[in-house]
Chains A and B, each alone.
Chain A
Amino acid sequence: MSGPILEVRNLFKSYDDGRIEALRGVDLSIDAGEFVTISGHSGSGKSTLLHLLGGLDIPSSGSVLFRGALLGSAVNLDTYRSDHVGFVFQAFYLLPTLRAIENVQAPMLAARHHDGDRGQRAATLLREMGMEHRMDQQPSKLSAGERQRVAIARALANDPEILLADEPTGNLDSTNSARIMEILTGIQKSRGMTLIVVTHEDEIARAAPRHIRIHDGRIAS
């Protein structure tokens, strides 16, 4: 096996000068190519953990290691986000001024890609998501399920090793939820990616080979 791609050691995160402790000592190791779900009550610290795993925020103490290298010192957070992780959010977070195909290209502007490639590459990814007919639409003209498929294509834009999804089906009906989860797990299998999904739906949580429960900022099981 390829060993852990992410390791978390004694991770603490507090807000408001320590008044709110969102994470209180999390230890975790995730192997490359693993599919992991994280669940827990609202406010238990799921999103906070995902943000720290994705280099969107910095811990109050403790460390996150990407392939053994400390995030924020040995690995630059900007580079880590642009080259190694892709995010999918509950609220899609598409850029409203950009058409679907342009949204997919937005992360490419941060990484080194040949100009000519970008449009082609984005079109290929959208086709993979079954979005070939909606590529030139503005996000506001797309359905919720379609928006999330564009967001997934965008998360894959720079070919990351890790895909982080925070309640990716939270704004979708059951049919669309199933479809999105199918796409995510399909990608994980076909590309051998590491997939971490935060969810509060038991069905989705149990679908993964490994399921982590968070309670009050600590791993419960």
Chain B
Amino acid sequence: MAMSLSFTGYVLKNLRRRRLRTILTLSGIGMAVGAFVGLVGFSTAFEQQWMRIYSSSGTDFSVIQGSFLNTTLDDSATAKIRALPMVAQVSPTIFNLMDVTPDVNALVYGWNPNAFEFNSLKILAGQRVRNGQREVMLGDMLAQDLNKKPGDTLELQGTEFKVTAIYHAASTLEAAAIVMPLGQLQQLSGMDGKVSTIDVRLRPAPAGESQETYLKQAQAAIQAAIPGARAVPAAERASSNQFVKLAQTSAWGTSLLALLIGILGIANTMAMSVFERTREIGILRALGWKQWQVLAHIEVEAALLGLGGGMIGIGLGWCALCVLAALPQTASFFVANLQWPLLVKALGIAILAGLIAGALPAWRAGKLSPVDALRCD
């Protein structure tokens, strides 16, 4: 029967006392964390899908144009790279996002029909596309959505293509995509003589040379051969991909803004709470609570609001990810999954937001003189 009161027990009672305000504050921070989980979760999943493409095709470097505005390379760069002694294979590519139907858009890859990228695809039915032909191959996910099989035709931007094959790929970015001969995609996108990326496979490192220095040398050689270009190593390619970068920047930007609003919400709640409880804080001090204990119990209250909001936010974010994974516009980019690092980050950010928001009110509560606080009505 004799239940012991604890520090957190007291804090929880204070939160429960003003239920409506607590709920409103929780929803505020919950939505902010939800935006974080949804958006950052989306961009992370997106990045992972790119990672899979790169690792399954066995590329060592992707050569891209270095400047931000000009994103294409001249086709002639391919020959220059092929001429380098350490280069084994080069493959110029284009990718583009296109409307397939009014509802569905898909990534379209332009590859040379003999390119090594085809190694990462498994043809389930039909034949590989041929050079110079208006032919496409469809990933199995997209084929299922569009209800197409080899022999059918597909219209892309007013041009009819023949579906020659259905393939399977590890990444949704390829499994829900279209592959066509490079020349066809150059024509279709108005990019004659241009490519967006040149994938490079190196010869094995000469005996006695470390892989690391070999890669560094190759990178320097490629960049020297094509002024203005950047050779991005396999490990960095996914994160330096333009789409991924854009997705990440906007995800973090939007969620930081939402978090800022959530923090202001908690700060307001805690400031009001300290103000209303001035007398009580005086009582606690009279009972022997130390300055830091008063400060800490306000901070714990704020951190608990953050933690609660964080858990609500993870739920909301998960719902958002499921919706995104089901929408035809975005389904091709990723599969919904929540990963530990993201959840830990979300909860960490939520608690931190609470602590930041509670800092000033807590400091003010700690500073109150016991007698003045007691006198206040």
Contacts and interface: CB of A to CB of B under 8 A. Distances in A.
29 contacts: A51-B371, A56-B371, A57-B370, A78-B291, A79-B288, A81-B286, A82-B288, A93-B374, A95-B283, A96-B280, A97-B16, A98-B10, A101-B2, A102-B5, A106-B289, A107-B288, A107-B289, A108-B5, A109-B10, A110-B287, A110-B289, A110-B290, A110-B293, A111-B288, A115-B4, A116-B4, A119-B3, A123-B2, A154-B287
A108 B286 CA distance: 12
A105 interface: yes
Contacts of A35: none
A106 B9 CA distance: 11
A109 B283 contact: no
Given A78-B290, A106-B284, A110-B290, A118 B4 contact: yes
Contacts of B290: 78, 82, 110
B369 A109 contact: no
B293 A109 contact: yes
Nearest to A57: B371
B14 interface: yes
A89 B279 CA distance: 13
A81 B287 CA distance: 6
Given A81-B287, A97-B17, 16 more contacts: A56-B286, A56-B374, A78-B290, A78-B291, A82-B289, A89-B374, A95-B280, A98-B5, A101-B5, A108-B5, A110-B290, A115-B6, A116-B4, A118-B5, A119-B5, A157-B287
**Interface size, A (range):** 35 or more
Interface string A48-67: 00010010110000000000
Name B's interface SS.
Answer: helix
A93 B6 CA distance: 20
Nearest to B14: A97
Contact of B283 (A93, A105, A108, A119): A93
Interface in A115-173: 115-120, 122-123, 154, 157-158
A107 B371 CA distance: 17
A87 interface: yes
Interface of B: 1-7, 9-10, 13-14, 16-17, 279-280, 283-291, 293, 369-371, 374
A56 B6 CA distance: 24
A83 interface: yes
Given A56-B374, A93-B374, A106 B2 contact: no
Contacts of B283: 93, 95
A125 to B, nearest CB: 11
Contacts of B4: 105, 115-119
Given A51-B371, A56-B374, A95-B280, A107 B287 contact: yes
Interface of A: 51, 54, 56-57, 78-79, 81-83, 87, 89, 93, 95-98, 101-102, 105-111, 115-120, 122-123, 154, 157-158
Nearest to A81: B288
Contacts of A115: 4, 6
Q: Which of B2, B7, B9, B370 counts the most chain A CB atoms within 10 A?
A: B2
A109 B5 contact: yes
Contacts of A83: 288
Given A93-B283, A110-B293, A105 B14 contact: no
Contacts of A110: 284, 287-290, 293
Nearest to A78: B290
Given A82-B287, A82-B288, A109 B7 contact: yes
A98 B4 CA distance: 12
A123 to B, nearest CB: 4
Contacts of B285: 56, 78, 81
A109 B300 CA distance: 15
Contacts of B284: 95, 106, 110
A51 B289 CA distance: 16
B286 A101 contact: no
B2 A78 contact: no
